[in-house]
Structure 1
Amino acid sequence: MSLGLYLHIPYCLARCRYCDFYSRGGQKEVPDAYVAALLREMERICNCDCTALRPDTLYFGGGTPSLLRPDQAAALIRAAAPVPEGEVTLEANPETVDPAKLEGFRQAGVNRLSLGVQTADDESLARLGRPHTAAQSRQALAWARQAGFANISGDIMLALPRYTREEFDRTLDLLAEGGCTHISAYLLKIEPGTAFARHTPEGLPDPDEAADFYLYAVEQLAAAGYRQYEISNFARPGYEGQHNLLYWDCQDYLGLGPAAHSCLNRKRFYWPGDTRAFIEGTARPVEDGGCDGEDYIMLRLRLTQGLDEEELARRFSVRLNERQRAFWRRCQQAGYAQPGEGPLRLTPAGLIIQNSILTELLA
């Protein structure tokens, strides 16, 4: 089994209006005390030097991990000791980087950058609460290439208030021209507890319009050379995100930091969302059930590669029953699932309504 290590950096310059991830706004840097807490937990869980759990991938997520100093990132990478040539990803926001910082991250061992661009429209960025501009995104991508990053992912958020296909086209052009080898394209979702949930913005597309934007994005990304391999992820050949692929294949992953989730040996656990307790060492992981065949079905059906029924049986001793097979045939007839034998795979139209399909399939 492979292992992915996720390090949560819960600090941001400002909270975006749509964001429901655990983070603290109004921060300009990551305290050394927090980095020390991550190092402490790596030492405690990984038996002092992480040789027992040496990760195949390392992912700095947030929050805004690019608020780290390069020397802080270097200390964490050294302690994690990922396998040689292992994927080391750091999420970054355009307004938090400059040439020296990006060069420092590259020298520290980061070999994949994930840039939160979202849109090339400055008015949309302001509505989202993003503190950067399209020009800053363009500049950050140029600096990343100059620093030696050959593996760059860019985020696009779809179906924003007053969204148009032209806005998507401009954003895709910005990312493609900026050298992105991977693109994550997400539909905006209004999550409970966010600023958008309290004050819903005007001009949101309805569900049918949002679905049309998604299908348009799939077509345009394919035409630009980005192959879809997961509901929201597209890559040039060979640049698929290896860390997230571990999640979607029910491989082991260890998350450190407040609100970070883990699954080791099919047992799930998470850290409480309390930064102070994590720093002080008083927080402890909370058990959260196990990973079973249903999880594997749900996760594999996110992938265009689909679900191999023999692998499902081998790993989890689970097989689809006749009711489930009949339902899948109806999905094929309706155009939501790929026709024919072999792995069970959803079409782009099916991926949009994956949750509804899973609800019926796993009922």
Structure 2
Amino acid sequence: MPDLVPPPLSLYVHLPWCVRKCPYCDFNSHAAREPPPFEAYVDALVRDLEHDLPLVWGRTVHSVFFGGGTPSLFPPEAIDRFLQAAAARLRLAPDAEITLEANPGTAEHGRFDGYRAAGVNRISFGIQSFDDGCLRRLGRIHDSREAEAAVKLAQDAGFDNLNLDLMYALPGQDLAMAERDLERAFALQPAHISHYQLTLEPNTVFHVRPPEGLPDEDLAWDIQERCQALLEQAGYAQYETSAYARPGRQCAHNLNYWRYGDYLGIGAGAHGKITLGAEQAILRRWKQRHPATWMAAAGSAAAVGGDDRIDPERRPFEFMLNALRLHEGFAVAAFEARTGLPYAAIAAQVEQAVARGWLERDGGRIRPTALGRRFANDVIGLFL
């Protein structure tokens, strides 16, 4: 059996509050009925980080991601205080990518200057659409004018590493509307675009009461194909199922997820995955979901919602669930180092997928074909 080798490490920080819960959102987010306790929450984040530090002693953190919720609800001073506390307790790489998710409806003049001064060097905007009708049907709190203004505020503050989240197959959307969304995104010249289909996730309002006017499967596929072509023509290379980037501007934090890297998860409902080299084990840990419950327990074992050690039988599926999202696929050596399993553990399934035209081999690398990317769930299912 190959040794498990700890991969690159990231830090995920969950900031759970938002102005209003969107009807399609299944994340651990909570509508703020009054100003959130920003200072107390940062104190709890630091306690949570200290509690988990023994899992990652001596390791370098290559990326930090503030997700939510709506992290841009937090004032720059709170983000700065947390990053200073994290830098005093962790070894942050000098070129670490530090991303903050932002909602255009919470963008204010001067805030982006503050985030940049705090050390944030990448902003991810939840735009979703530039069509005001679509935005209303999605329950978003911003309009297209505010979206464009927020992006320009960030650019004026010196941010050139920006991601725009866009969804397609929206209620009432046709092909021309989806094309216009991309055209307006291109005009803003972001470094990265995340383009993904609206799905009706369990435990959401849309799952219980689906919106009217959803495109059928054929139209959704036409939109996807057309938008992929437009993104390529505009210089955005697709490197993952729903991620497109200018050269050298792929999201380092998300790449680490998809390459089965490690990440420490702190905050209410945060999830983490840590390779324990000395124990030759892979640990998944998640925190209590409700902000008040988690804050009261942060810094103690009671804040942990659960621990799960990933036994060897489950590792091939976990690895493939992530790695086969990437156009680059994976190196056989990386599979062995990050799962502690020999290639023989997946050889039969890989051969089956190659025979079906879903995967291709290139030396020591295995990657999905165009057909395999279209039938990604079927390919990944081979490894269950």
TM over 0.5: yes
Alignment partner, residue 262 of structure 1: 272
State how far apart, in whole Å, the 1-side matches of 2:136 and 2:351 are.
47
Residue 80 of structure 1, aligned match among 79, 83, 86? 86
Compared CA separation, residues 153 and 348, structure 1 to 2 (3 A): farther
Q: What residue in structure 1 maps to residue 182 of structure 2?
A: 172
Which secondary structure does the structure 2 equivalent of 1:344 belong to? strand
Instruction: Tell me which protein shows more strand as a share of its residues.
Output: 2
Q: Which moved more, 1:345-354 or 1:143-152?
A: 345-354
Of 269, 287, 302, which residue of structure 2 is paired with 1:271? 287
State how many pairs are aligned.
357
In 1, the alpha carbon distance for the partners of 2:177 and 2:370 equals 21
Whole-angstrom distance in 2 between the partners of 1:137 and 1:349 = 35
Are 1:109 and 2:130 counterparts?
A: no
Measure, in 1, the Cα distance between the counterparts of 2:363 and 2:47: 50
Secondary structure (helix, strand or coil) at the match of 1:292 reads helix
**Is this contact kept in 1: 2:22–2:138, CA < 8 A?**
yes
Flag the 1:46–1:255 CA change in 2: closer, same or farther, 3 A.
same
User: How much does 1:286 deviate?
Assistant: 0.8
Aligned-pair CA distance for 1:249 = 1.1
Matches of 2:369 and 2:221, distance apart in 1: 13
The answer as to 2:352 corresponding to 1:326 is: yes
The correspondence for 2:42, drawn from 35, 48, 51, is 35
Shift of 1:348: 4.5
After superposition, the Cα gap between the structure-2 partners of 1:27 and 1:179, relative to the gap in structure 1 and judged at 3 Å, is farther
- Find the aligned partners of 1:63 and 1:270 in 2 and give their Cα distance: 17
- 8 Å contact from structure 1 (residues 65, 90) kept in 2: yes
1:253 corresponds to 2:263: yes
Alignment match, 1:200 = 210
Q: Which residue of structure 1 lines up, in the alignment, with residue 303 of structure 2?
A: 283
The alpha carbon displacement at 1:179 in A equals 2.6
Q: Which amino acid in structure 2 is aligned with residue 25 of structure 1?
A: A
Indicate conservation of the 8 Å contact 1:113/1:151, yes or no.
yes
**Whole-angstrom CA distance in 1 between matches of 2:242 and 2:77:** 32
After superposition, the C-alpha distances for 1:41-65 in whole angstroms (9 at most, x for unaligned) are 1223226xx8734421000000000
2:376 aligned residue: 354
Name which structure has the greater RCO, CA cutoff 8 Å, separation 6+.
2
Q: Please name the residue that 1:145 is paired with.
A: 155
TM-score between both structures, scaled by the size of structure 2: 0.87
Q: For 1:39, give the aligned amino acid.
A: V
Structure 1 residue runs without a partner (length 5+): none
TM norm structure 1: 0.92
- Give the structure 2 partner of residue 3 of structure 1: 9
Letter in 1 for 2:251: G
C-alpha displacement of 1:307: 2.6
How many angstroms apart in 1 are the aligned matches of 2:66 and 2:284?
A: 20
1:308 maps to which of 331, 335, 339: 331
Residue 279 of structure 2 corresponds to none
My pick for the range that moved more, 278-287 or 100-109, is 278-287
Contact map agreement 1:215 1:348 (CA 8 A) in 2: no
Q: Which letter maps to 1:267?
A: L
